[in-house]
Amino acid sequence: MNILKHLSIAYVLSCLVSVMCFSEARKPNVIVVYTDDQGYGDVAALNPEAKFETPNMDRLVNEGIAFTRGHSPDSVCTPSRYALLTGRYAWRTNLKQGVMLAEKECLIADGRATLASLFRDNGYNTAMVGKWHLGMDFPGTPEDRDWSKPVKDMPLDKGFEYFYGIPASLNYGILAWFEGRYAAVPPTMYSNKKENPRYVDYRIMPPYETAPGISTDPTRTIKENFEIAEDFIDNQCLTRFTDKAIEWMSGKASDSKEGKPFFLYLPYTSPHYPVCPLPEFHGKGEAGAYGEFVIETDYHLGRILDFLEASGLDENTLVVFTSDNGPENSWEQRIQDFGHDSRGGLREGKRSIYEGGHRVPFLVRWPAGIAEPGRTWNQMVGQVDLMATFAEIIDAEIPDNAGEDSQSFASVLSNASSSFERLPLINHDFYGRYSITDGDWKWISPMEESGVGELYNVAEDRLEANDLAEKHPEMRKELEEKMTQIVVRGRTTPGEPQENDTDYWPDLTWMTEVEYDKAVAR
């Protein structure tokens, strides 16, 4: 259990330096814009070969910092969102693989600190507008709903004071425009995926049916219907979310100017399926409907930035723009059809443990707080680090049993010559496989107990094409030991060990249950 201790002193000193830099500054407004399935190569400024323009994303690059080795915690939706909001890896919960349904006990346990509760408890107004996908408790059962009763175990119970949005990905159903705990038009009708004539996926759009059961519509790709509101249509999400976000910020602008800033979490539904850009974006770019959808996403980001400028909030608003995982499998077809690589030349995409699954756009803009804007940071950071970073910026305390895997990179914002080094970062994929990256070295856990896994130098081998596990067994073993310690200690950062929510689980293929128990007991 001593292998990480030598990093603790440097970590603490880095935090102290940044605290001194930010302690005298006025607390900024904070906006986290979280796109869905957007690959590293889907920002034009990060991909010289991109087949469409993203001027507002590029503006964040040119006026802020582009973290070229920024990672989502997972290569799929739910676990990345959990880790971003809590500063704790989702595989420490009972969700070991895959994603959640729309209706399920919220993955964020009651009392667990979140970004929202951190900001709320430190004098901020807080809001979430967009896609949740962490579980909600809906009134009644699918066979017996009472939509006059409130939705529970949802964003308003996790630190957010305002919520407008949808429960999960559009293909999971229970779709309505929820505001607070209710929907003005509740999901009392039924539908499912319909053929999308402009893309390889599907649409969620009228006409809807009045009874549950199996659809007779021959265009439906899945026949079992889900609950949906009569006024819901997939291509309205981006417009509605942006409208509501601006409406909420408008109501908090005076508070912000008087010393009560705001935190807005804005998780968009694009460019996740269904790819459904509004007609005014058709024909834009050179990557078909997908490119049009990213262009529309960029347009709505521009609306947010324009609002900040027009409202006099621009200078002291910190904007983080990033994605929950890499691009959906249709990235292959876009390369073939248009020469556009959504992965940005990385290996594989969504659901994968390789870099294309979790190295994503990671852009930060804060005119009042970033030294030497327009630069890149080419060392590793993670979305799981936002909790510690924000806490340092607003001079807030994080309890020892919160943000266990979150390490502040605030010094990178205030100092272009920062000596920040990320502690070993763990990533995870849809199937339960793990990787650990320490500096330039990345080890991927074996798919079975007898294997040695894979080892890559990601600085020299961006495509992860040259497995060095047999050539460098000492490095492989060192990373395996670090991964074991991070798993069994219940945390990455210095502090008292914390418990995972479960005992040993089979995806920890590099160690047995006996070895796990011994490591925990040390």
Render pLDDT for 11-67 as a digit per residue (tens, 0 to 9). 555 555 444 455 446 899 999 999 999 999 999 999 999 999 999 999 999 999 999
Give yes or no for residue 175 having a pLDDT over 90. Answer: yes
User: 3-state class of 301 per DSSP?
Assistant: helix
The pLDDT of 174-197, averaged and rounded, is: 96
Topology adopted by domain 425-521: Arylsulfatase, C-terminal domain (3.30.1120)
The pLDDT of 360-382, averaged and rounded, is: 98
Alpha-helix runs per DSSP H in 223-271? 237-257
Question: Where along the chain do the CATH 3.30.1120.10 domains lie?
Answer: 425-521
Provide, rounded to the nearest whole percent, the portion of the chain with pLDDT above 90. 91
Q: Which residue's entry shows tokens 């395996």? A: 480
Quote the pLDDT of residue 25.
61
Quote the pLDDT of residue 222.
60
The pLDDT of 133-146, averaged and rounded, is: 96
How far is it, in rounded angstroms, from Cα 272 to Cα 18? 36
Q: Per-residue pLDDT tens for 309-360? A: 999 999 999 999 999 999 999 999 999 999 999 999 999 999 999 999 999 9
Q: Spelled out in words, what is the top-level CATH class assigned to the domain 5-180+234-414?
A: alpha beta
> Angle at which helices 237-257 and 288-310 pack, to 10 degrees?
20
Structure tokens at 133: 């996908």
Give yes or no for residue 102 having a pLDDT over 50. Answer: yes
Q: Within 13 Å, how many C-alpha atoms sit on residue 310's CB side?
A: 9
Nearest to 48 by CA among 301, 341, 409: 341
Question: Where along the chain do the CATH 3.40.720.10 domains lie?
Answer: 5-180+234-414
Q: Per-residue pLDDT tens for 399-450? A: 999 999 999 999 999 999 999 999 999 999 999 999 999 999 999 999 987 7
C-beta atoms surrounding 263 within 10 Å: 27
Quote the pLDDT of residue 62.
98
Structure tokens at 428: 């995870």
Quote the pLDDT of residue 13.
52
